[in-house]
Structure 1
Amino acid sequence: MSDFPDETAPDAELSPFTLRRRGYGFQTESPVRYLPVTKDEKVIGYLWASVSGDAAHFVARVDAGADGNLAEYPWFLRLERAKEEGLTALAALHHWIGAPEHPRAGRIAADATEREAPGLDALHQVARSKTAT
């Protein structure tokens, strides 16, 4: 699986007039599993997937600043590609564990601890907390 398509090329299928949904959903009512995403050994956010259903996305840590915000789009592209290749949301969550660090997206360390939150609101609270988990 190629990690990233050319991020500078416009993608006509992402136009606002596209009715077909690509990738996983961004919302869920189910619990979510998540992994810390690091850049230069600092947690910049969390990649998550719904325990049930078909949702997955990246949540930036508030204290990660620009690094967290810049990581969101490359993760969106990765998840979109994973969905197109037939991976479930949970399989996509595990797909990049141990991969090399990307300059914008960071990485998920091989020894990263997977955690579960009761829902997205709880994960957003983790992302706003003073300590990274």
Structure 2
Amino acid sequence: MNHPVQYVAVQAPDGEVVGYVWADYTADALQWAQRAATGADGYRLGQEWAAKVAETRERGLPVAGALTELARAAGTGPPVDVSGPEAVEDLARTVTEADDRRLLAQLDHGNAEAWQELADAYAALTDDDRDVRWGGGEKNANGAIQWPYPIYSRPLWRVVTALWGIGAVTAEHRWSASPPPVVPPSGRLRPADAVRAATYLAVGERVNEGSVDEALRSGLFDAMVAALLDRHIAHAS
């Protein structure tokens, strides 16, 4: 054994890597690392493997023997040496071209009405529509102070709602397990990243109020819509 940490990749039937079983021999630890970019099916399979790893760990097998047993179950080859747990964590954060293709496949290019709605709603936005006010902060009769919340204009929320119609909001992007999308220095989002941004904003706003406001200020909102519309035009040509 050349390194104190080894891992085994676990794949779905279609070849997608859903996560990694890894062992730290120095710490006598056996762990599961779910790949964050997996879709809904990959996540479910990953949960099965998380339970399998936990069950194997509870049986009290030596770590090396446990990893060998799980490697046979995974069928993806012998354990691979890596420099440490951080290397496995880096692998779990990897986003592949297959991940991008899976997200882009969610876009409903056949729904011309939905795409027109997005284009029209976005084109109709004014500066006033983009101006997000915040409510809350007032003290109620019980003396409690209401938590601040964003107040979005109807035209702005019309754009957000239109994202659902084109298929850009999808359970195939597990937004809560992924870092928030950011606008690259070029100012242009890749189409798959636009789907990630759409899901993060439309769904994540319910949990992290103000996400859409922040996206407007950072330029993410405009870059997202532009990338989605460009993708649709390219698909139609």
* TM-score of the superposed pair, with normalisation by structure 1: 0.56
Matching residue of 1:34: 7
Secondary structure of the residue that 1:45 maps to in structure 2?
A: strand
Matching residue of 1:61: 35
Matching residue of 2:18: 44
Matching residue of 2:93: 128
Identity, % of aligned pairs? 30
1:87 Cα deviation (Å)? 0.5
In 2: Cα distance, 1:86 partner to 1:98 partner: 18
Matching residue of 1:114: 79
Unpaired runs of at least 5, structure 1: 1-29, 100-107
Please identify runs of 4+ aligned residues in structure 1 that moved more than 4 A. Answer: none
Q: Which moved more, 1:53-62 or 1:73-82?
A: 73-82
1:127 Cα deviation (Å)? 1.7
Secondary structure of the residue that 2:71 maps to in structure 1?
A: coil
Relative contact order (alpha carbons < 8 A, sep ≥ 6): 1 or 2 greater? 1
* TM-score of the superposed pair, with normalisation by structure 2: 0.34
Give the 3 Å change call, closer, same or farther, for CA 81–122 of structure 1 in structure 2: same
Q: Which moved more, 1:36-45 or 1:54-63?
A: 54-63
Kept after mapping to 2: 8 A contact 1:49/1:57:
yes
Structure number with the higher strand fraction is 1
Which structure has the larger Rg?
2
- Aligned match for 1:81, one of 55, 63, 74: 55
In 2: Cα distance, 1:113 partner to 1:97 partner: 6
How far does the alpha carbon of each residue in 1:37-90 deviate from its partner, in whole angstroms, 9 at most, with x for none?
Answer: 001121111110112222111111222233443344433332333233220222
1:113 Cα deviation (Å)? 4.2
CA RMSD of aligned residues (A): 2.6
Matching residue of 2:66: 92
Q: Which moved more, 1:48-57 or 1:79-88?
A: 79-88
In 2: Cα distance, 1:71 partner to 1:31 partner: 27
How far does the alpha carbon of each residue in 1:107-132 deviate from its partner, in whole angstroms, 9 at most, with x for none?
Answer: x11x5242222222221111222459
In 1: Cα distance, 2:78 partner to 2:96 partner: 15
Structure number with the higher helix fraction is 2
Q: Which residue identity is paired with 1:88?
A: P
Number of equivalenced pairs: 94
Unpaired runs of at least 5, structure 2: 98-237
